[in-house]
Chain A
Amino acid sequence: MIEVQNLSFGYKKRKLLYKNLNLKLEVGSIYGLLGKNGAGKSTLLKNFIGLLFPKGGSISVNGFEPKKRWPSFLETIYFIPEEVYVPALTVEGYKNLFSPFYPAFNPQQFYSYLEQLDVNDKGKLSTLSFGQQKKFIIAFALACNTKVLLLDEPTNGLDIPSKIKFRKLISGVFTEDKIIFISTHQIRDLDNLIDRVIIVDNGELLLNASIEQISSKLCFKSVSELPATDKVLYAEDSLKGYAIVMENGEHEDSKINLEHLFNAITENPAKAKSIFHH
């Protein structure tokens, strides 16, 4: 479990990015962290793994304090940054050098993931394209079988078939004893993958809800005319009239559109809070 209590963090002392953030992430979920550019998504992930230290408050990841970076903590968590680093080693060399650091590493899974992601180059990893390097690191990270997996913009640099394979892989490796935390601004890449949505903006947690909670509280639909009610959180022009997000007073079933959800929440943070805190 990841527990954040009254987290304050800022790169400059006088300008805090997060102020008194509280967040609880339970095991057994794939979380999607959504936010605008500069909202602090990567910063939050780096606080989780201990690359950045909170200025105030505390973070606990499976009982560990990340800022201490104990090896026993780091072997249970894997962080894939937006830009990955691979040394001038072959696939085999990389595996031999780094896999001993991760006790739950499974070589069979590793080769299987590489095959599924079409990474089959026998040369030095540093000569691969950015997308291939990223897929290699994703395969390695998944094979490490860590309890917590943090992915920062994992689909950046991946082609369309690779994005689909990535989604399949993540769904396939997920087990109830893991937390997978994906930060992205490419919202569509998370469709049908995540089961909880977290939205941050201006250093504030605007939403932390499951897909079921969102479906029960909000309704996503197309209408020919805008309803004259203050229950509409968001509306945008569409071919058939308007695509809207509104309070789900009638308990209608609808398919969540993450892009519309994000806009609805960030444009009406106060209203969204009141809906989800009821």
Chain B
Amino acid sequence: MQIFVFPGLMLTLVLILYVLIKALSGFDMAQRISFFVGLVGGSFFLASFVFGYFSSNASGSSFLSLPASHFEKWLCGVLIAGIFYPVVFLIFYYGIDTGFVALYHNNLDPASPFYKQAYESVYRFDLDGVVARNVYILFFIYTGAMLLGSLYFNKVSVIKTAVALCIICLVIFGTNWLFATMLFGNIEEASPFHGVALLAGNDVGSIELPADIAEICKYVFFYVMPATFWILSFTRLREKEF
């Protein structure tokens, strides 16, 4: 039931967020934040429900002993959190974004001297743009992590997975920062898998990874890591004892 009710609630939340942020900070911010929350946040929470049977002994036993293969059970979860919800969300998002942008354009006064400038300041969110692509990567990482987390943590898996992800991020960032400080001294910023920004007096200089290594890191971060989470969730379901 949650699987059907939740997307409805999430889409309503996205609509409210879009309207509120648009009123407070304008279109650009509203489009970015509502797109991120709707796609990444929505799928993350939904992924915690699709394998949420393990919160009770009865439902966990019932799910695992149902005569369907591990792959079929896993595929159901993947289809709901990874295909069904994102498709519904993207259609909904495209609809509301198009509607609000059209409404804005229609309400502009063509006789105004700033008409062209005002018109061109707002466009539909580019679903194939750089921001959207980064959000898609985050969607694959977080949804995969939640699918895996819901199979590792039987109770309150969403909180435990979120905490686990925070700890992993802190450890990676902390270790990176520590090594960068030991090697270079004055650190302004040290993003893992990317580069180090150094303080030199009042100036900031940066040391970036060599292009070929940066490409490998990007490949690992964008493709290998999400794929690992999704595949591991299948392996975990197959080996799940309850």
Contacts and interface: CB of A to CB of B under 8 A. Distances in A.
B241 A75 contact: no
Nearest to A85: B58
Interface residues of B, number: 17
Interface residues of A, number: 26
A211 interface: no
Interface stretch (B39-47, B59-67, B98-106, B207-215): B59-67
Contact of B61 (A75, A79, A88, A102): A79
B130 interface: no
Given A51-B61, A79-B61, A81-B58, A71 B242 contact: no
A88 B58 contact: no
Interface string A80-112: 011111011000000000100110000000000
Chain A: interface secondary structure?
loop
B58 A52 contact: no
A53 interface: yes
Nearest to B63: A85
A69 interface: yes
A49 interface: yes
Contact of B64 (A51, A82, A88): A51
A71 B64 contact: no
Interface string B61-77: 11011111110100000
Contacts, number: 54
Nearest to A11: B241
Contacts of A79: 61, 65
Contacts of B61: 46, 51, 79, 81, 85
Given A81-B58, A83-B56, A83-B58, A51 B242 contact: yes
A138 B241 CA distance: 24
Contacts of A51: 61, 64-65, 241-242
A52 B66 CA distance: 15
A10 to B, nearest CB: 12
B57 interface: yes
The 9 closest A-B pairs by CB, nearest first: A85-B58, A74-B67, A75-B67, A85-B59, A83-B58, A85-B62, A101-B67, A71-B67, A81-B61
Interface of A: 46, 49-53, 69-75, 77-79, 81-85, 87-88, 98, 101-102
Given A71-B72, A77-B65, A88-B1, 20 more contacts: A46-B242, A49-B65, A50-B65, A51-B241, A52-B242, A69-B65, A70-B69, A71-B68, A71-B69, A73-B67, A74-B65, A74-B68, A79-B65, A81-B57, A82-B57, A84-B58, A85-B62, A87-B1, A98-B66, A102-B67
